[in-house]
Amino acid sequence: MGVIEMNLVENVGLIDGYVDEPTVLGVPPYVSIYPRYVAGSIWANSPKTQIHYQTIDEIRKSFENAQRQWAKMDLLILIAGMIVPGKYIGGTPISVREARILFSSPMLEDIPKILVGPWASFGCGLQGGKMALSSEVLAPPFDYIVKGDAEIVLAQVFDPSIGLESADLDATRESASEIEPYTIRGAQIVTQHPGFSNKHIICEIETYRGCPRFITGGCSFCVEPSYGMPQQRTTNDIVNEIESLYKLGVRAFRLGHQADLFTYCSQEIGEYEFPTPNAAAIDELFFKIRKVAPDLDVLHIDNVNPGTIARHPEESKKVAKAIMKYHTAGDVAAFGVESTDPEVIRRNNL
Ligand code: SF4
């Protein structure tokens, strides 16, 4: 692979191998935050760069055609990683074997290849719930494994004063505000998703990252506490991102990127393992979303900690009522109840 000048990067191939993390889902019809944040980070630093976005299901129609197209790119980026158990009907995530075959083609030898997402950060899970392989099993064919946050590292890669060779591949965001320059800029990438034209996409939206239970270590098997103190986005930042996606034609959203939606904006995050919900803040968030996206078809949520509801039943009732006022049919507040066995609960700090 040759060294490239980042100011000469005109064409980037962005391949969505899909992701599934405790707080992010990106298997169709869901579009995760990754392609949007990555595209935003590239366009914020290199507005003229063309990003060619494809999903792994499109690529499976012909590996050879995909490789021939990628051979014309200046840089290839794969988003991938399933690190929780899941069964999918809308798409099939990329396997490690497929990634090796696809990116090892001699046609792509001179093109730098970057791996981002959960596989890069946490290891290549062959399947959620099974022991992950080290991400090094994909180096080669990948030249750069981004263990940090994709959007932060790629902002460095496309910064002419830093570039690919000097970028810190472990760089992570210090606060949620660091992603905001990219969320709206990158929204446009969804128009290249195969489900966009027939409105068969649901954009996964981040409200916060990290788990309030990090103060006691969190559940033994979960990566979310490793982010430390949860980083919350402001209501206006979330609403502005939804507005930009809505203006492009997206009509389905899921507030899925958080450990527990009921604790969004709680003043007690960082103080208590099960902070008291802030129903007024959640009501305001949903109200504002409906205001900027009046004709949306889907407004769903994901991830609610039953431990919060058990400890704060009255405040939780108010949150549930606020959600029911604004959301759409078919919504599910997914509870993570891994076990009721006291010994399993004790050993895994559930
Ligand atoms: S409650 Fe447990 S499983 Fe859920 S996000 Fe927190 S650490 Fe992970």
β-bridge pairing 75-82 and 11-21: parallel
Q: Which residues of 129-139 are buried (b: 16+ CB within 10 A; e: fewer)?
A: eeebeebeebe
CATH architecture of 6-175: 3-Layer(aba) Sandwich (3.40)
Q: Is 179 in the pocket of ligand 1 (CB under 6 A)?
A: no
Atom of ligand 1 nearest to the CA of 223: 8
Q: In the chain, list all ranges with CATH 3.30.750.210.
A: 201-348
Atom of ligand 1 nearest to the CA of 212: 6
Q: What is the pLDDT of residue 41?
A: 97
Q: What is the pLDDT of residue 4?
A: 64
User: What is the distance between the alpha carbons of residues 335 and 214, in angstroms, rounded to a whole number?
Assistant: 18
Q: Is 24 in the pocket of ligand 1 (CB under 6 A)?
A: no
Based on C-alpha coordinates, what's the Rg of the chain? 20
Q: Is 222 in the pocket of ligand 1 (CB under 6 A)?
A: yes
Which of 116-130, 244-258, 267-281 is predicted with the least confidence, judged by mean pLDDT?
A: 116-130
Question: For residue range 143-183, what is the model confidence (pLDDT) as tens digits?
Answer: 999 999 999 999 999 998 999 999 999 999 999 999 999 99
Q: Whose CA is nearest to atom 8 of ligand 1?
A: 222
Q: In the chain, list all ranges with CATH 3.40.50.
A: 6-175
Q: Is 26 in the pocket of ligand 1 (CB under 6 A)?
A: no
Percent of the chain residues topping a pLDDT of 90:
83
Please give the mean pLDDT across all residues of the chain: 93
Is the Cβ–Cβ distance between 213 and 219 less than 8 Å? yes
Q: Whose CA is nearest to atom 5 of ligand 1?
A: 259
Q: How far is CA 48 from CA 8, 13, 291, in A?
A: 10, 14, 33
Q: Is 259 in the pocket of ligand 1 (CB under 6 A)?
A: yes
Is the Cβ–Cβ distance between 232 and 207 less than 8 Å? yes
Mean pLDDT within 283-304 = 97
Dihedrals φ, ψ of 3, to 5°? Answer: -80, 135
The third-level CATH classification (topology) of the domain covering 201-348 is: Transcription Regulator spoIIAA (3.30.750)
User: What is the distance between the alpha carbons of residues 97 and 16, in angstroms, rounded to a whole number?
Assistant: 16
